[in-house]
Structure 1
């Protein structure tokens, strides 16, 4: 029997978590070249609330009202459009559906290749909640590290290392053989050590604290939060060519965006997770009916790891 209506988080106005509501909406249908996914979990990211905070920012992402919420999803294919190859009903998949992932169903292009509109087979060994955290953060971490190219001879400073992108960036840099120093709050020290990073408190005097930890010098830096790590890295003599940002623009420093991740980067991250070589800490899970407190927790930017919505 066809599904006619479904749940989806909707915004009738742009703003903070207080504008998020769960609504009954017409169930989307897969058209030619598309698949429909029955979503079981959706992972939250800072970009979810940043791009829906106001009308001007939303317009820059092509969003208009009423809008959906969330981009990362995982679930099971339940409808396949004409001309689709490589996917069949019952396949477990994960991927991105820009600002519409927190819903019972998403429709994406089967051949889509960006975090805004894509699906990938979920490897055996990865549960749906974990798969739902991979797309935005994994792509972004891979793109940032591609800028600085860490290797066994490097000491890499990662700013905002305990956040959603940081957990991937720290582990990927370690897998590349680099020594990693990660900035965070004092409360995140044990968490960062568990990821393989040497923790250092952010804030005034960061460069001096890093210098004490690494008297031999820092060779690369990735700033996942703002510009504090960029300035510390410059003070420590790191050349701009080996510094990267994801959330700020700094003259002379290359910004990274998950949309620019090299082809295959996300699939490689999924393989690493499935093999047990990369782990994704899930800080909290919420039922979709609690989307507002979930978004508030994520937007507070003090979560260690990822926040997931269960559908």
Structure 2
């Protein structure tokens, strides 16, 4: 099958399009015909070796953890899915090797849920990792409640844009940091935008003089410190970007596959409570360009890669 792989750590140039090994379908897996796979910052961080201390890389590595597609073969013990089911997944294992940037992926059942019927495959591919991150931080780590105020950083990005929507769904007032040209986008999600940069604390305090009840840091460093200083007396803090959050009494969070959480996200999408904005879709063979765009760090919503099955089938 065709796919993207890399045989050493490095920049986007190490990504190669060509033949990759066919996946074996274990008893607790299903073979998914990939229609789209989202790009996340963790993908290029893995590719450059930043996670080498926690995840073994079995080269060649097929990158990608997000997927949307169609089940073509259930494993021997699988009863949850049948051939033809449309699914989404955060297909992360405890090592790097068998990712989603390929025509097929063997996905553990524990990583999958049914695809929201009202989302395209491209939109649905952007939901799992970013949506689970936002959901697990807001609901499980910060325990956001109706009527509370929440500060979300990078509110126009993949995780941030979903966090704004989930926070609004929970009944919270969401203040989101974003560059000026993304303010209307954040407002459209239900958030109150504030501009990054010098004077951020004053701008947030103008909206929440008593401080915010919860803060969701996606950037780290000075942004994490500012977030801690903007909390109300009993405020809670979580970060997905900087483990130093624990020194401020907060929680460091790393998203995990959870089929029940993913089912809930799919339901929220079908209810219209959350949507996924796709900034750009690249064909699979241009995955390196998708990585480059992601690495610029100015994404509005999600970047995805797609498999053109009509072209593949006509070529064969």
| RMSD (Å), alpha carbons | 1.8
| d(CA) in 2 for partners of 1:37, 1:64 | 21
Q: Quick one: which of 286, 295, 303 aligns to 2:299?
A: 303
Q: Which runs of 5+ in 2 are unaligned?
A: 308-316
- TM-score, length of structure 2 as denominator length: 0.89
Kindly provide the CA deviation profile for residues 37-68 of structure 1, in whole angstroms up to 9, marking residues without a partner as x.
110100111111112212x6235222232111
State the aligned residue count: 298
Name the counterpart of 1:160.
Answer: 154
CA contact (8 A) 2:124 2:276 kept: no
Counterparts of 1:38 and 1:291, CA distance in 2: 18
Query: For the structure 1 residues 240 and 302, does the alpha-carbon distance in structure 2 shift closer, same or farther, using more than 3 Å as the test?
Result: farther
For residues 1-311 of structure 1, what are the structure 2 equivalents within 5 Å?
6-54=1-49, 57-58=51-52, 60-98=54-92, 100-110=99-109, 112=110, 118-145=111-138, 146-239=140-233, 242-250=236-244, 251=247, 252-259=249-256, 264-311=260-307
**1:245 Cα deviation (Å)?**
0.4
1:102 and 1:136 map into 2 onto residues whose CA distance is 15
Q: Distance in 2 between matches of 1:26 and 1:283?
A: 30
CA separation in 1, counterparts of 2:113 and 2:266? 10
Q: Secondary structure at the match of 2:68?
A: strand
* Structure 1 residues 147-172: Cα deviation after superposition (integer angstroms, max 9, x where no partner): 22222321111111111100111111
TM-score, normalization by structure 1: 0.90
**Does the Cα contact within 8 Å between 1:143 and 1:257 map onto a contact in 2?**
no
With 20-29 and 85-94 compared, the bigger mean Cα shift is at 20-29
List runs of 5+ in structure 1 lacking aligned partners: 1-5, 113-117
Look up the match of 1:3.
none
What's the CA shift for 1:260?
Answer: 7.6
